[in-house]
Every structure is written in structure tokens, then in C-alpha cells.
Amino acid sequence: MALPLLVGVTIGLVWLVALGVTQLRVVDAARETARALARDEPQGAAVALGRQVAPDGSRFRVEESSGLVRVRVVAEVSGPGGLFAAIPGVEVDAEAVAAQEPS
């Protein structure tokens, strides 16, 4: 009886760790993209920099207004599957804001 319970708890904990790692990667991607845009790099190049850090399938939204650059990155973490198939995927997101540097 204890072994299936331990396996279930272990799978759940591994999924939570994957969720945390994905959140960190999304935060880093938003920060990298905002910094690149603040340095006046082209938007395509800045987003490409962020995609190198972000998880596959991440979505980027960039807004520039009144000397600020705002980048929001959203990624989805799939549920663990198996016995936990009822748990839906979770979206994690991060937003970074940077002041545009003078040219």
C-alpha cells in the first residue's frame, strides 16, 4: 500500500519542480528580452534572445511606451499525466520592465 503512495507523491513532487524551473526560465526570458529592447536592439533580435532562454512554445508580448519597455512571457507546463491526468496544464508567466537607454 505504501509503495504506490510513494510513487504518486514522487511524481507530484517532480511535476512541482518542473513547474518551478519553467517559472525561472520564463522570468529570465522576460528579463533578457526587456534588457535587449532597452539597449535599442531590434524587436526581432531581442525576442530571439529571449527565446533562447524560454521554454519551447512560450509566447512573448512586447509593449513600448513613455521610455519604458514591458515584456510579458507566458509558457504552459503540461500535467504529469498517468494517474495525474486529471490535473490540467498550468500557465506560468513573468513580466519585466526596463527603462530605454538614451541613444
Sequence-separated (6 or more) residues with CB below 8 Å from residue 100: 37, 38, 40, 64, 67, 68, 69
Per-residue pLDDT, averaged over 28-36, amounts to 97
* Comparison of pLDDT for 85 and 39, the residue scoring more: 39
Mean pLDDT for all residues in the chain: 90
Buried b (16+ CB within 10 A) or exposed e, 7-36: eeeeeeeebeeeeeebbebbbbbbbbbbbb
Residue ranges of domains in the chain: 2-99
Residue type, 42: P
Summarised one tens digit per residue, pLDDT across range 51-95 is 999 999 999 999 999 899 999 999 998 877 766 677 778 899 999
Predicted confidence band of residue 26 (pLDDT cuts 50, 70, 90): very high
Q: Give the cell for residue 53.
A: 532562454
**For residues 82 and 14, what is the distance between their CA atoms, to the nearest angstrom?**
13
